Amino acid sequence: MSEILVIRLLGSVNAAAPAETSVQWLLVDTHGARLGTVLQGRLGDAAMLAQTRKIVALVPGAETLALNPVLPALKGNTKLSQVVPYALEDQLAVDIDELHFAIGKRGKSATTPVIVASQNLMMTWISILTAAGVQPDALNTDTSLLPLTTSGITILIDQGRVSVKQSDSTVSTLDVSPLSEALHLLIPATDQPVTLYITETEYEAEKTAIDALYERAPNLSMKLLPDGVLPLLALQATQPSAINLLQGEYTQRKKTQRDFGGWKVAASILVALVGLHLFSKGLVLWQLGKQETELDKQIQTIYSQTLSVNTPIKAAQARPAFETRWHQLQELRKPNPLMKTLDVLAKSTNAKDALKIQEFNYSQGTVQLKVLAPNDQSLDLIQRQAKTQGITAELQGRTPVDEKIEGQIAFKSASGV
């Protein structure tokens, strides 16, 4: 299941030391369900979890302006983002060139939610996150993520600040002390459903002011947030209605390159291991090729000594010639001591024995063999194997040579052929 890291910037950012900026963070799945506990600390600490996850950053909505205008119908190729700044110009006290406009999805009504933020703030937020190693996929204001109360009002009390979301999705935020004054200014007497979200700590501190709210809003429903506001906001951040500030010139590029960078070390190790594996295999093949060449030379010597050959034969051709002669004898069904002796040698030795044939003579049905064997057991094995083939193998001498045994063996068919 995909994981989303939700990071909330708390208060003002630390431009001089981005990694030291105070934040809260939480891991959720694609539906907003929690995958861990709410943590609070430095932005640099949260960045360690950001390498391979989708990132949603939450910024203070109190520093932005949330509007819900009725926008004109568009014709041709005109984009809504081109129209919005001029449609809202009369409602703004700042030059529209200094502002950034993020447009949400039009709801059932004719209005369209728009969040307005200063260009300076946008650049500050993005630079702080990027400098700390966090590249957000979405940038949301915390107040825009308040859940909607159907045909009613939603209230969030967070760190003494009151945010109110009306049924038409407009959001108002007020930071006035005491809290009772802010509640009185933002929430008129109403019979509409009212949902109040507040942390347990703040409820205990402001219980009197909140209980007084029931007199003006009898349909008030209070929801305590034991783990703070972030789980509530994270749940809403995964919804399609969440307005992403990263629009227009702030649209983020795909993070393929960044994500690959997170795997760069692992990829380098994998390449090195594959290279090492291929090198070791190549070394084994080279050693086997060298052993095969040496064996071909020994076969060439035996071939030249035992068979009447007028034309010298190359080492690589000696083995096929032997095999051809062997098949010919098999077809003629003629028992041959030479072939039997070679069969004995093939079955009683292998590459790890390092058995080396020093002399090989064949005359009148008898094979005289001088070999350099690693130990006495190798010579005994040759004798036992010869016996199973109906050949007498007489060990005529064994001499120690450089920690090995030089043996002289005479092979003769038991039938005397």
> DSSP states of 158-206 as a string?
ETTEEEEE-TTS-EEEE--SSHHHHHHHH--S--S-EEEEEEHHHHHHS
Q: Cβ distance 27 to 34 under 8 Å?
A: yes
For the record, the structure tokens of 138 come out as: 């979405």
**194 and 66 in a common domain:** no
What is the CATH number for 55?
3.30.420.380
**192 and 85 in a common domain:** no
**108 and 245 in a common domain:** yes
Q: What is the pLDDT of residue 351?
A: 47
**CA-to-CA distance for 96 and 119, rounded, in angstroms?**
10
| pLDDT cut 90: percent of the chain above it | 21
Task: Name the average pLDDT for the chain.
Answer: 81
**316 and 236 in a common domain:** no
Q: What is the pLDDT of residue 110?
A: 78
Residue 231 has pLDDT above 90, yes or no: yes
Q: Cβ distance 391 to 412 under 8 Å?
A: yes
The pLDDT of 277-306, averaged and rounded, is 75
**362 and 215 in a common domain:** no
**CA-to-CA distance for 210 and 155, rounded, in angstroms?**
11
**pLDDT class of 256 with cuts at 50, 70, 90:** very low
Residue 168 half-sphere exposure, CB side, CA atoms within 13 Å?
12
Domain edge (last residue) among 285, 310, 332: 332
317-341, pLDDT tens digit by residue?
766 776 776 666 665 555 566 777 7
Query: For 35-44, 51-60, 159-168, 353-362, which range has the lowest pLDDT when averaged over its residues?
Result: 353-362
Q: What is the pLDDT of residue 260?
A: 47
Q: What is the largest CA-CA distance in the chain?
A: 126
The pLDDT of 24-36, averaged and rounded, is 90
Domain edge (last residue) among 278, 305, 332: 332
Residue 313 has pLDDT above 90, yes or no: no
**347 and 394 in a common domain:** yes
Query: For 40-54, 207-221, 342-356, which range has the lowest pLDDT when averaged over its residues?
Result: 342-356
What is the CATH number for 367?
3.30.1360.100
**33 and 1 in a common domain:** yes
The predicted model scores a pTM of 0.59
| Most confident residue range from 139-153, 259-273, 376-390 | 139-153
The pLDDT of 27-39, averaged and rounded, is 90
Burial (Cβ within 10 Å: 0-12, 13-18, ≥19) of residue 321: middle
Residue 207 has pLDDT above 80, yes or no: yes
| Most confident residue range from 56-70, 244-258, 319-333, 381-395 | 56-70
**81 and 22 in a common domain:** yes
Residue 257 has pLDDT above 70, yes or no: no
**354 and 298 in a common domain:** no
- Beta bridge partner(s), residue 3: 29
The pLDDT of 198-217, averaged and rounded, is 89
**128 and 235 in a common domain:** yes
Residue 100 has pLDDT above 90, yes or no: yes
Length of the chain: 417
**Which of the pair, 254 or 176, is modelled with greater confidence?**
176
Pick the closest to residue 194 from 225, 152, 223 (CA basis): 152
The pLDDT of 367-379, averaged and rounded, is 85
Residue 253 has pLDDT above 90, yes or no: no
Residue 291 has pLDDT above 90, yes or no: no
- CA distance between the termini of the chain: 79
**87 and 177 in a common domain:** no
Residue 43 has pLDDT above 80, yes or no: yes
The dihedral sign for the CA sequence 388, 404, 314, 368: negative
Residue 262 has pLDDT above 60, yes or no: no
Query: For 61-65, 329-333, 353-357, 397-401, which range has the lowest pLDDT when averaged over its residues?
Result: 329-333
119-163, pLDDT tens digit by residue?
999 999 999 999 888 999 999 999 889 998 888 899 999 888 889
Domain edge (last residue) among 332, 365, 387: 332
Domain of 410, in residue numbers: 335-417
Residue 87 has pLDDT above 70, yes or no: yes
Q: What is the pLDDT of residue 263?
A: 57
Q: What is the pLDDT of residue 232?
A: 92
171-186, pLDDT tens digit by residue?
888 887 788 888 888 8
For the record, the structure tokens of 403 come out as: 């920690």
Pick the closest to residue 4 from 41, 55, 52, 39 (CA basis): 55
**415 and 319 in a common domain:** no
Residue 32 has pLDDT above 60, yes or no: yes
Structurally, how many domains does the chain consist of? 4
Give phi and psi for 217, each to the nearest 5. -135, 80
